[in-house]
Structure 1
Amino acid sequence: MADAPTVPTRRFARRSRAGVLFGLSWAGMVCVAIAAVLVFLVVTGHAPGQTTVVAVLVAAGAVPVSGRALVSWIPIFGGYLWRTAARQTRYLARVDQPRPVGNLSLPGDAARLRVVIAPDSETALVHDPHLRRLTAVLRVTHKGAVLADATDKVEMDRGWSAALGGLARFDSSICRVQTIERTLPGGSSLANHFTHVASPQVPSTSRVRAAYESLLAGKTGQLEHESLISITLDMAKAAVQIREMGGGLAGGSQLLGESMHTLAGSLPQAGLSPDRWLGQAELALLVRSVYDPEQVPRLQAATVGRQLHRAGPMGVVEHFTHVETDSAFHRVYQVTEWPRRPVGPMALWPLIVTSGVSRSISQIYRPVPLRGSRRSAESAVVEAQRQLHRNHKRRGFTDPQDDVEVQDANRRLEALTLGGREYDFLGLVTVTAPTLKALTESCRKVQEAASAAEVEVRVLAGQQAQHLVTGALPFTRGFE
């Protein structure tokens, strides 16, 4: 009997600690340089009494706060204070003014997003006229991967790698890929599944059927799982191809359709079943479910509430560490540290199956052009080795963490040499609850689950309203 295949494991590369000089960023170097000039002026007597300023500049450039230098918080704090002073932290829909058809009516910089319909289908494409991008959203279904045997897990892992690699081959046009796995209030999924699989030969008067229906009727407050994949076409980079296909949004839609077909055809190998590309009604319900989740069960059973120009929020209030919308409070986290040890495909499962929490787990991928990826990997190898020798000379011993960074850099370069493709990626977790107290409790559960999954999540302070759109909606934002 042949041995069962081993599920492949991978280790996430550590975030580089190297900076411009001695681990300092450019902003930190500027602060330290100004402090050095002031020290010289103080010593020479040209700027007496500036010792406090020197200390503040050194602290701003060199002291880390929540994983980043103090000076790096200045734009975030400044932006939030400016929005607060300008009263831009509160958004209220103008009910006395009609909203344009095709406008998603979202707050902030997402207000520019429009929706166009693909000429050859009913797929709703999200168009960003400023960045010249076109996005399509696919709903997928899947079986419980955590219960799959080793053979199936190996095939799923290879299939998903092949799907991402296939999209990376279109790196001149596909500029973003995003996956979202979310839970939302529902309660109809079990009932729909029972109706779908129940034998038509079982009479409605059967005691067994009555027992199942009674059990399902008592299941209130359920959370449904939904999985989405979106891909984005960079119309500026693909201008030549779009012109060959007729130009404009019609040509862009046709070019994006080719990548949509490629993606849908490769997903079954990853254990994913394409359901359908979202149309206007589904996209409107998706947007509504983010800002007004309390109404999701009612809207799922009705035909109202599915107009795009009315799907946006009626009101949004941004706070420093959370954001309040129509019927919910949200808090957005960024995954700042991924598992340090080698992990398999189910590494984030503790975070996915968190019980009783409404949340969205979003991963945004940005394909890196092969030439730039190779150049960056070579530079990373040189910088990691330089950092190792510099730290060894200063400390007198080799820090194991420096060794790990060198190994990661070499492994990255080796993978690219063997034909691998590279993505930059961003992980976001959005937690939703009906009250602020419930949000605090849900966030505690999510942080415990993140610890079990060996990842670190941090609140995106001062950027909650902006990244609610990034993390909860499949519009492939987040790297701008």
Structure 2
Amino acid sequence: MSNVSAPQPTGGEIVPVKFSRLTRRGILLGLTLAQLIALAIGGASLVLAFYAGGGILVLYTAPIWLTAAIATWVPAGGRPLIEWLPIVTWWLWRRSAGQLLYRRRIVAPRPEGTLALPGDMARLREYTDPTTGAGMVHDPHAGTLTVVCAIAHPAFVLLDPGEQERRVTAWGRVLATVCRSGRVATLQVLERTLPDSGTGLAEWWAAHGTDDGSWASTTYAELIERAGPAGERHATTISLALDMQTSARQIRTAGGGIKGAAAVLRQEMSTLAAALRAADLAPTSWLPCGKIAVILRSAYDPAIAATLERHGDLGQSLATAGPLAVNESWSRLRTDSAHHAVLWISEWPRSLVYPGFLAPVLLSTGIQRSFSLLCTPMRSDQAARDIRKKKTEHISDAAQRQRIGQIEDASQTAEFHDVLQQEADLTAGHGVLRYTGLVAVSATSEEDLEAAVAAIEQAAIQASCETRLLVGQQAQAFTAAALPLCRRL
């Protein structure tokens, strides 16, 4: 859980904020359940060897208790070896079952209303809301209904500090609105870079330019024609996922089924749109199924993104928006025209930072990437129970460490203070959200991808963040990081 604590603003100046630390505590003395099970197995084998006669039996059982000790305490990639067991097992099972390769069956018919996407996303269904015309994506297994909104906004870094602080406060009210709803499963903010097709510059020149045949106008028109397709633009969307299980009563009241869910989701859409306008964010439109299809196709096949933008009627079908081929490896993902790698923001800034701290990542040039911020709101009662549980665990662990003479380190004290701050914020009426930050980097070759990933990692360091390459789950991570479907890891 990532929470923010900030001092009260004074004089209209922008105020630094602080994120809570990533909780790394376990069940007992910092050990997780997997570590405790491994220790129990190793300890049981050692005790049985002693009671059975000791001596040579201890040596015979050495592979068991030594393996358990190594798996419990030896780290690899920032986590103990025992915690890699589920990831590696799941990866090997998928590899043996041939699930790392995907090829679309062009000739074979698909059920009507389904999305041509790989893996577990093949279960997704499309629905067009007859009232708003918005395209909605239904996940029958997760029980969610997702809608996507395009957002227009000014460059935050170019605003003066007072205006930045006002906009940050307004965005906080948007998140508070989502938290108070109780029916929202996930809110996703997706900011991606796209190759510019040049249509924006051409349209501006057609509307404001003076084509009088002079040398200056001719040169300017040629410059726009040449430089436009080579440019880069940023696009931002906000996706809202309705929790159909939590909203079951309202859905039945609205008529039940997918139509009732759409009616309930329209209420959340109206509330979110009003909150966004109050925050000086311009929701341009709720995207229809055709526009969502273009986003999905551009994510899997970036080379065709500019073509889809120039030809508005091309690729406007969710039934054909998925990739033609996908090859997943341990740390990479290969789709139609690009190689991808997904990074997880494993640690947000630990010290006070200003709201524009992500500028090095978001404003990196020459890199095609998608930044996804997944916000999962928690109900007040759930957040209160979670905080009470954490407080109890911290206090009991501190008493246990004092009993065995273990020293309390600064990180454990800082985590406890974060829990107290979260409790104070919740008592003051603020909402609690779980944040997950993902960065999907794309390139045309493996060499370019390596360079782009290294550049993003350096940019994250400048932003006071720590990133970790997600291994063994690149396909699932890519759908969460690059697609506006509110998918979670």
Q: What secondary structure sits across from 1:288 in the alignment?
A: helix
Q: Distance between the aligned counterparts of 2:222 and 2:403, measured in 1?
A: 72
Residue matched to 1:261: 270
Q: Distance between the aligned counterparts of 1:76 and 1:254, measured in 2?
A: 39
The answer as to whether partners of 1:93 and 1:314 remain within 8 angstroms in 2 is yes
Q: What secondary structure sits across from 1:429 in the alignment?
A: strand
Alignment of 1:51-450 (within 5 A): 51-171=62-182, 173-188=183-198, 190-192=200-202, 194-195=204-205, 198=208, 202-219=210-227, 220-302=229-311, 303-388=313-398, 390-391=400-401, 398-450=408-460
1:32 to 39, 45, 52: 39
Q: Deviations over 1:400-436 (max 9, x none)?
A: 3233222211111100010011011211110000111
Letter in 2 for 1:213: A
Structure 1, unaligned stretches of length 5 or more? Answer: none
Q: What secondary structure sits across from 1:169 in the alignment?
A: helix
Q: Distance between the aligned counterparts of 2:443 and 2:472, measured in 1?
A: 19
TM-score (norm 2): 0.93
Q: Distance between the aligned counterparts of 1:224 and 1:381, measured in 2?
A: 46
Residue matched to 1:5: 12
Q: What secondary structure sits across from 1:305 in the alignment?
A: coil
Instruction: Identify if the C-alpha distance between structure 1 residues 147 and 459 changes in structure 2 by more than 3 Å, giving closer, same or farther.
Output: same
Q: What secondary structure sits across from 1:427 in the alignment?
A: strand
Q: Which range moves more in the overlay, 203-212 or 268-277?
A: 203-212
Structure 2, unaligned stretches of length 5 or more? Answer: 1-9
Q: Distance between the aligned counterparts of 2:390 and 2:147, measured in 1?
A: 34
The structural deviation recorded for 1:235 is 1.2
Q: Distance between the aligned counterparts of 1:397 and 1:38, measured in 2?
A: 30
The structural deviation recorded for 1:295 is 0.8
The answer as to whether partners of 1:100 and 1:309 remain within 8 angstroms in 2 is no
Matched residue count? 474
Q: Deviations over 1:255-297 (max 9, x none)?
A: 1011111111111333321111110210110110011110111
Q: What secondary structure sits across from 2:251 in the alignment?
A: helix
Letter in 1 for 2:111: P
Q: Distance between the aligned counterparts of 2:159 and 2:479, measured in 1?
A: 33
Q: What secondary structure sits across from 2:19 in the alignment?
A: coil
Q: Deviations over 1:69-120 (max 9, x none)?
A: 2111111111111111121111001112123332211100111011101121
Q: Distance between the aligned counterparts of 2:418 and 2:160, measured in 1?
A: 30
The answer as to whether partners of 1:119 and 1:253 remain within 8 angstroms in 2 is no
Q: What secondary structure sits across from 1:227 in the alignment?
A: strand
The structural deviation recorded for 1:393 is 6.4
Letter in 2 for 1:19: G
Q: Which range moves more in the overlay, 56-65 or 122-131?
A: 56-65
Q: Distance between the aligned counterparts of 1:99 and 1:406, measured in 2?
A: 52
Q: Distance between the aligned counterparts of 2:17 and 2:400, measured in 1?
A: 29
The structural deviation recorded for 1:394 is 5.7
Residue matched to 2:30: 23
Letter in 1 for 2:370: S
The structural deviation recorded for 1:195 is 3.3
Letter in 2 for 1:43: F
Letter in 2 for 1:86: A
Instruction: Identify if the C-alpha distance between structure 1 residues 142 and 97 changes in structure 2 by more than 3 Å, giving closer, same or farther.
Output: same
Alignment of 1:454-469 (within 5 A): 454-469=464-479
The answer as to whether partners of 1:175 and 1:232 remain within 8 angstroms in 2 is yes
Instruction: Identify if the C-alpha distance between structure 1 residues 323 and 395 changes in structure 2 by more than 3 Å, giving closer, same or farther.
Output: same
Letter in 2 for 1:279: P
Residue matched to 2:5: none
The answer as to whether partners of 1:187 and 1:224 remain within 8 angstroms in 2 is no
The structural deviation recorded for 1:216 is 2.2
The answer as to whether partners of 1:189 and 1:224 remain within 8 angstroms in 2 is no
Is 2:458 the counterpart of 1:451?
A: no
The structural deviation recorded for 1:330 is 0.4
Instruction: Identify if the C-alpha distance between structure 1 residues 65 and 193 changes in structure 2 by more than 3 Å, giving closer, same or farther.
Output: farther
Q: Identical aligned pairs, as a percentage?
A: 32
Q: Which range moves more in the overlay, 102-111 or 59-68?
A: 59-68
